[in-house]
């Protein structure tokens, strides 16, 4: 499999947008506080990520699937913290 410039841009975008959730997960876990996190925003984001994952599966796009599986896990973790640490 040859990786071209377009694929590199896509992989970089997937990596950055996926890892963008990690600081929030870490901060929420450490502080045990999720009061400043919007429940509606994260519900909408999680559903959207689930739809992107479904789309990636339907078109058999491995980078899209991989990025959205990881992002979905991180988003669901934040939702869990939001509901647990009210």
Every domain of the chain and the residues it spans: 37-86
In which band, very low, low, confident or very high, does the pLDDT at 1 lie, cut at 50, 70 and 90?
Answer: low
Sign of CA dihedral 1, 70, 14, 22: negative
Candidates 3.90.1860.10, 3.40.50.10490, 1.20.1280.290, 3.90.1150.10; CATH matching 37-86: 1.20.1280.290
- Do 77 and 24 contact (CB within 8 A), yes or no? no
Mean pLDDT (whole number) for 20-43: 93
Look at the chain and count its residues: 86
Q: What is the DSSP letter of 33?
A: -
- pLDDT bracket for residue 2 (50, 70, 90): confident
What is the model's pTM?
A: 0.84
| pLDDT score recorded for residue 33 | 93
CA distance 20 to 27: 12
What would the pLDDT profile of 46-56 be if each residue is shown by its tens digit? 999 999 999 99
Mean local confidence (pLDDT), 66-82: 94
Q: How many CB atoms lie within 10 A of CB 77?
A: 16
């Amino acid at each position: 499999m040859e990786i071209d410039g377009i694929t590199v841009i896509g992989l970089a975008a997937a990596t950055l947008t996926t890892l963008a959730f990690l600081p929030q997960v870490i901060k929420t876990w450490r502080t045990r506080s999720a009061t400043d996190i919007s429940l509606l925003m994260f519900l909408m984001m999680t559903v959207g990520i689930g739809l992107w994952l479904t789309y990636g599966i339907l078109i058999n796009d491995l980078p899209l699937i991989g990025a959205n599986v990881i992002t979905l896990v991180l988003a669901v973790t934040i939702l869990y913290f939001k509901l647990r640490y009210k």
